[in-house]
Structure formats: structure tokens, C-alpha cells
A and B are shown apart, each in its own frame.
Chain A
Amino acid sequence: MPASVGTVRIAELEPAMQLNTHLIYGLLICVLLISIPHAEHLPFWVSSLSVMLLVWRTYLAYCNRPLPPRWLLFAVMAGSVGGILIGFHTLFGREAGVTLLILLAALKLLELRSARDATVVIYLACFVIITGFFYSQSMLTALFMLATLTVILATWVHLQSGTLALRPRLRIAGILLLQAIPLAFILFVLFPRVEGPLWGLPQDAYTSSGLDDRMSPGSVGKLALSDAVAFRVMFKDHPPQRDQMYWRGPVLWDFDGHTWTQGRGSFKPPQLDSLAYPIDYTVTLEPQNKNWLFALEMPTQISIPAAMTYDFQLRQNSPVTSRERYSAHSQLGYRANAEEDPRQLQRALTFPYNSNPRAQQLAREWHNNSTSDEAVISTALAYFNREGFHYTLSPPQLGANEIDDFLFGTRKGFCEHFASGFVFLMRAAGIPARVVTGYLGGEYNDLGDYYIVRQSDAHAWAEVWLRRRGWVRIDPTAAIAPARVELGMAAALPESDSAALPLMVRAQSPALINVPSWLVNVRFKLDALTNKWNLWVLGYNPERQFAFLTRMGMEEITWQRMAFAMMAGMALLVGFFTLLMLRQLTVRNIDEVQRLYLKFCRALAKKGIVRETHEGPQDFAARAAQIKPQFAPAIADITARYAALRYGQSDAMDVNGIQALRRAVAAFKL
């Protein structure tokens, strides 16, 4: 006896739930979809191993072969964990964790034996899908995840329902998602946001691309090839002229013959007077992993905590790792540090004396032949303008004495070459000068009424200190390529260079109409949408939440109130959907006749005679009469009346017939 019981158990376990091949394909697609967004940053061996496992599983399902033995899976598993440990030195954290999860999901497919395993894969897929947000939070990513989630849900419906065809499956999944949207909305709007590391992503989630705090030949030109957005600006009133849109970034003082750096030391606090032309605007800064903020020259107020350095840079205490939004107030007319500390000026005159002798020589000549500093400056600008200098994205290599080489040899350069050369000449001529980097201009998006400043708008210019006038901006690039300042980069570059520019940068220029206008329009629309997404979805932080809820009429916003409102909203929604479903389930078609008949059925059901949903009235009556012969006549009577009213040709409004049925059902007591 015990032996036979044992064999039965084994027989039950082994072939137990033969999972449908189509379901297995569905699960394979789920795992593939959740892995795709990670493909670019997974180690190569992980990607290829995952693909191999998926192909293996597909082959097994296709040929209906048995699954591999457990020890083999265990070996693969152990190898994977070892590989991750060697590669990442940990099993936790973003990279290692995601890698491990993806491998586990692929491996789990190879031990897919029962419905329970399938459920595990589906839950795992739902979890891994979130990890995509560790790497990208763009709208496109969100859309892809939504699509993936639909597929996962459809697979889940397949698992639950068994026989449903693909289309109704997708429909059910879609309905589930649609029902979830209001819930997600309530959670999103009301879930108390806490500022702090809990919500932040790890430091390595951000890659920095953008201006650096050092400048050497080619460093700005490199940025010109990127159409990534640096920040977006919305002006409160009229935007300034394009040639006034100098977005101030890092200021560079120290030069070692090749690289300009910020240097250290502050001797005198920043001081602005003779202010004119005020302007108000709001900046949405993309994460850049740097401390500085960008503002029009010269900023006087900013809405977030930031300090103004001695050389008029806006700096935060911590790097900008999430999208930052601030409003600022600038004065386009100003006098900056008219009284400057002598030690500061000394710094602005320093240069490596043993390099670039020809440039030094030239500067000294200018100094000796001129009556004033202003005259030297105009001589220098005229020199750039007349001596055959070219503005180009691809300047030739420079030799050991870079400035000399550029000024007297190649004469081809990008803005950093001109800024660097100009400041060197000024210093050699005894005029304090420094390099300022930042962005120039911006592209107007008329659909969103804001300006997009891209990395390709990066620029470098110079500042010289003049007695009584303080630091004055001089843009040597304007002397060679005025179009760069007035129209934008694409207009300033020769045709051959502009082909290398990103499409969007080229499109800005009215002079080059080689980009169809509808394409520009589509891109503008997309960017306007992205801006909205950034503002309202990704940038929905405590402040915005507070502002939004206040505007919605909520008073005294505390997290308890928000939590309460959230729960109440969820309860209301869930209740609403439940009612809707119940209505569909039971109350559908509840005309009076049907209601009376269902009452009759309930009376019988209480005695254990339950009508199957597919059981017709006569079949049911016959069965009921067999079980309760003493009530056979009453059952037959009610059934006949019901059938006549529901299926017969009698008038639907046959009041007498319905009355008779009602009496009969009321009198029916078991």
C-alpha cells in the first residue's frame, strides 16, 4: 500500500503541469523585453549568456525536449555569480544587482515546470522592469516599459485563463493597465515626497557631459558635436537679443601654456554697480554632476541656495545630479568689480614667460604703440579680423608653443583658441584678462515658448579689466565670425564643417536650409513634450507637489493629510471599479423576468441544487425535480412560465404573465 501511494505521488509530480508552448514563448518574450534596455550597459559576457539561455529555452520549447537537469543549471548559476563577483566585486548595488536579476530570470526559464514557476518569472519580470529607471528616465523609456508591462500582463492573463486567444488577452491586459492609470495618478500626485537620499539615485547614475572646469584646445569644440540639452530657459518678459545671451559658467584664470584652469584664491567679494536692463527668467538645468549653475551675465538674484564667487560664478554646495529648476534675475548692463584687489589683478597678468615668444613680442609692440588699454584691445581684435583667421570646428594640430603656432601659423581655430590667444596677448600686453566659459545663445522653441540651450552652444570668451570700467566682456570670436554671436554656430561655420554638426544644430540656422522644416517642427514638438515630462513627472519634487496641491485647493499640507487623501482616493477608485464589475457580472440584463428566475434559482441553490451557468431552464428543472420530486409540479410551472416569458413570443410587457411568475416564485418555498 505505501509503495503504491509513493509511485502515484511521483507520477503526479513529474508531468504535472505541462505548460503550453505558447505561454513559454510569451514568457521568453517578457524576459527578452526586460533585458533589452539593459543591453548597452551589461557586460558583454552577460548579454551573450542571456541570449544563449533564451535561445536554448526556445529550442527546447520548439522541439518539446525535456528541460536540463538541475545540476547543470546550478553550475551555470554558480558560474554566473562567480563572474559577477569577479567583475563587480559585489552582488549588490545597481550594476551587479541588475546583472544578477537578469541572469536569474533567464535561468528561471530553464526550470519552468509548473504554473508556479511561470508566476515567479512574471513577478520577476515586473520587478526587473523597474530597474530600467536606474539608467534612464526619459519619456521613451517610460513608453517602452509601458509596452513591456502590457506584454507581461497579457502573458499573465494567458497563464490565468489558459485558452484565451492573443487578441482578447491583449485587450484584458490593456483594460487592466487603463484601470491602473487613475490609481497610479493618485499615488503619484499624493504620495508624500521626502527630500533625501532615499529617493535619490546613486552617484554613478549620472554621467557628466558638459562644460568642464578646465579648457584646452579642442575641449569646447568637442561639445559642439553634441546636441544634448544643457538647460532650457523661459523668459518672463521679452528675451534679450541673441548677442546678449552669454550664459556664464566657469571662469578660468591660470594658464600653463596648454590648459586653462580655475585656480584658487579669492581676495575681494564680487561687486556690481551701474546696473541696467534687468531681465527675469527660469532655468531648468539638466543634471551635469558639477557644482556651477548657469545665468545670464550678470546675475543678481537666484531662487535656490547658491553662492556667487569672487569672479561672478554661481555655485552650489553639491553637484547638480538631478534636474534643477531655478528662477534668476540678471542685469545685462553692469560694472563688475571696478575696484579690484591688486593681488587679483596680478593673477590676471600671469602667464608662462618662457613660452610663446612671438606672441609676447607682438603684445609688447602693441603696448608700446598704443596710448591706452582700449587701443590695445581694438588692435588685437582688428588683428584677428584682418590677418586671415578662420573659425572652424576642425582646427589643425598645434605645436609646442600653441599660442604662437595658432597666431602665426595655422590661424584656424574654434572659440577656445581665440579666447585663449586673446587673453594671452592681453596679459602679455599688461592688461589683466581672464577666460570665461559658458554657453552663448539658444534656440527658440515657439511651441513651448522657451529657449533650448544645447551642449553645442558651449562657448568661451574673454574678460579684461579696465580702470574705472571693471571687468569687461570681449568676445574675440565675434571679431572673426560675427555670425556665431548673432545667428548661432551653424551659420558661422563653413559649409564643410557644418555637415559634422548634429542635425538639430544645423537646423537652427536659417542660412542652411538643408533640413526639412517639418522635421524641425517635429523635433520642437518632441522637445516641448520632453520639457513638460521633465517638469511635471521627473521634476515633481516636494515643492512642486506642494504648489500643485495648493492650487488644487488643499490646505495645510502635511504628509498625514496627503497620506489620508491618497488612501481615500484609492478606496474610492477601487470601490468604483468594484461596483462597475459587479454590475457587469450580475446586474447585466436584469429585467424583471430574469430577476424572478434568478430568485427561484437562489431558493434552489440554498438546498444545494445549483444551476450551472450553461444549464438551460428545462434541463435544470428536470434535474431539480429529480432531486426534490415533491416540488416537481411547482418547479415545472415556474420554469414553463419563465421560458414562455423569456424565450416565447409573448409580449415583453406581458404584465399578467410577469405577475403570475412573481406569485409563483413568491409561493415557492422549499
Chain B
Amino acid sequence: MGNSLHNVITQAEQVILGKPHQIRLALACLLARGHLLIEDLPGVGKTTLAHALARSLGLQFQRIQFTSDMLPADILGVSVYQRESGDFKFHPGPIFAQMILADEINRATPKTQSALLEAMEEQQVTTEGITRPLPSPFFVIATQNPTYQIGTFPLPESQLDRFLMRIQLGYPGEQAERGLLAGVERREIVSRLIPQMEAAELLALQQQVKQVFVSPALLDYAQAILRHTRESARYVHGLSPRAGLSLLAAARGWAFLDGRSAVIPEDVQAVLPGVASHRLQSVQDVQISDGDKLARELIEAVAIP
């Protein structure tokens, strides 16, 4: 692992106190070229985390605050008539950036949500018949309020699936909270963060992550997990093949962050709650926050072959 990546983690840990695991998960997700969904109550540091990561990774950053009256054009951009030249000129929307923070994505209407999600999937935007590529690398970190809160349009399963991982931050620990309350305002710290790498370097790291080795023994384990979700009566649906691919990609990212050139079962177990919790639904209709618990049950139910 490059030194710069280590610095990114260190910087982020200074901003988000007491959440090293979540920071590493978020980074692993970015390294695996996946989009990240952070779900939690307002005010636990979702936006700050996204912002800190963007600053440290040296990416162009755009924040889109989703509201219920937002239209797709507000994200993608719009063509405006030029009186001087007599033709239309495209004004790119906020989505034309390397890192997008889609804040409170579930407050927008499904129409607007799907405009963003389409861009995430295709890495390009098509308006008025013209297709325009998005910058590379392209990340979306979306935050979402718990769906039981007022004024939310929950993302359907098919769109949740577009996110490689979903993580939760949770309340900070006793000590971390003390540091937070006593320290400087977070926004100030973020604005002072120094970029630790450039976009090109990040692209190279992503290529390296792809090279992380997955052995047949580990594939056995991954398949055992998938099979269990499909055979068990505990879940409404088993994990899809796409979820299986995501699991391996995220595990590669995690192994890379740990400085290993091969994936071991612990890597899979570390990312499994993030990868599986938004894709699994318990048969007994429990709250979404129990997705993590489901994933931990899953880990304990599957023996490592």
C-alpha cells in the first residue's frame, strides 16, 4: 500500500473521531470502484466523512443536496439558448465532478434519484440525445436518512444494489465525543486538509487492487456464503451473483488496505456487513438497521472451507 493511502486514513481519522473501521470500509469501497451509501441519523458526520475523503484524495468535489422538489436537470445540467451565437449551450450540472456527495438522496423523488443512479451505472450522462462522459475516477457517496423518518422516498432494492456498500456510522464513543466537543469545528479542519494524492495516482491504485489474488479456497468460501443465503429460510432472497462479485471486489480493496496481495477469509468477513446488509432482507420483517446483525449471523453460520 502506498504511503499516501496511509496518510489519507490518518487525516480522515483526525476528522471523524473513533470510526477507523468505517473509514477503511469507505476507502476499500472507493478502491474497488464502487459507490458508497452511508445511512444514519442526521448529524453523525456523514457529510464530513465524504468531504474529508474527497479533500484527502485530491478529487474535485461537488455536493448535491437532494430535496423533494429537485428535477433531474438540476443534477445533470441543462442547455440554455445563447442569444449571441443563436444556438444552445450545455451548462453541465453538479454531477460533472470526480467525487459527488449526494446528500440525503432519499429526500428526492424517484425520478431524480434514478437520474443520478443511471449516471452512476453508466459513468456517462445523456441529455437531449447527446452523451457526455463523466470524469474519471467517478465516485458517488450518497447519504440517506433512515427510511422511517418523515419526508423520505426509500430507494428500491434494484437501486440499492447499485451501491457497492452501505455503511452506518452510529454515535461516537464516549471518548471520541469528548474530543469532538472539545476540539475545533469539523468544517474548519476539513478545509485545512491537504490532498495526499492526485486522481491519476488513485486510478493506478485501483488497477493494483484489481490484481489482488483470490485463491480457489477463497472462492469456495465466497460461494458457501452465497449458497447459504439462498438455501436458508432466514432471508427473503439470496444474494445475487452481482452481490457475489461486489463481495470479492470489496474484499480485494480491504486486503489491499491491509497491505496484502491475496484475499483471506477475514477480508471477506470484514466487508460482508457493508456489502450484504442492504441486499439481504430478513423474512421476519425487522428494521433496516438489523441488516448488520443479519450479516454477522451469516458470517457465523458459514464455516470456512
Residues in chain A within 8 A of chain B (CB atoms): 22, 163-168, 588-589, 612-619, 643-644, 646-649
Contact = CB atoms under 8 A, between A and B. Distances in A.
Contact of A648 (B215, B233, B266, B300): B215
B304 A647 contact: no
B302 A614 contact: yes
A82 to B, nearest CB: 42
B300 A614 contact: yes
A588 B220 CA distance: 12
A647 B231 contact: no
A616 B305 contact: no
Nearest to A644: B262
B213 A648 contact: yes
Nearest to B217: A646
Nearest to B220: A589
B299 interface: yes
B263 interface: yes
A615 B269 CA distance: 9
A165 B234 CA distance: 8
B264 interface: yes
A649 B300 CA distance: 27
B266 A649 contact: no
B contact patch SS: mixed
Given A165-B232, A647-B262, A614 B299 contact: yes
A647 B232 contact: no
Contacts of A646: 215, 217
23 contacts: A165-B230, A166-B233, A168-B231, A588-B305, A589-B217, A613-B303, A613-B304, A614-B269, A614-B299, A614-B301, A614-B304, A616-B269, A617-B265, A617-B266, A618-B264, A618-B266, A619-B266, A646-B215, A646-B217, A647-B217, A647-B263, A648-B261, A649-B215
A163 B264 CA distance: 28
A647 B263 CA distance: 7
Given A648-B261, A649-B213, 11 more contacts: A22-B233, A163-B232, A615-B304, A616-B269, A643-B262, A643-B264, A644-B262, A646-B217, A647-B215, A647-B263, A649-B215
Nearest to A639: B264
Interface string B260-290: 0111111001000000000000000000000
Contacts of A168: 231
B218 A647 contact: yes
Interface string B203-231: 00000000001010110100000000011
B261 A616 contact: no
Contacts of A644: 262
A669 to B, nearest CB: 25
B262 to A, nearest CB: 4
Contacts of A612: 300
Contacts of A619: 266, 269
Contacts of B264: 616-618, 643, 647
A164 B218 CA distance: 24
A649 B211 CA distance: 11
B233 A165 contact: yes
B262 A164 contact: no
Contacts of B217: 589, 646-647
A166 B213 CA distance: 36
Nearest to A165: B233
- Most-contacted residue by chain A among B231, B261, B263, B264 (CB, 10 A): B264
B233 A163 contact: yes
Interface string B79-97: 0000000000000000000
Given A647-B217, A648-B213, A648-B215, A616 B231 contact: no
Contacts of A617: 264-266
Contacts of B265: 616-617, 647
Contacts of A616: 264-266, 269, 304
A315 B232 CA distance: 64
A421 B263 CA distance: 99
B219 to A, nearest CB: 10
- Most-contacted residue by chain A among B215, B233, B302 (CB, 10 A): B233
Nearest to A591: B217
A589 B233 CA distance: 27
Contacts of B301: 614
Contacts of A614: 269, 299-304
Given A616-B304, A643-B264, A165 B213 contact: no
A621 to B, nearest CB: 10
Contacts of B266: 616-619
A629 to B, nearest CB: 21
- Most-contacted residue by chain A among B265, B269, B302, B305 (CB, 10 A): B265
**What 5 A-B pairs are tightest by C-beta distance, nearest first?**
A613-B303, A616-B265, A616-B266, A649-B213, A165-B233
A588 B215 CA distance: 17
Contacts of B300: 612, 614
Interface in B236-278: 261-266, 269
B89 to A, nearest CB: 52
A163 B232 CA distance: 6
Contacts of A613: 303-304
Contacts of A615: 304
Interface string B181-205: 0000000000000000000000000
A167 B231 CA distance: 8
B290 to A, nearest CB: 16
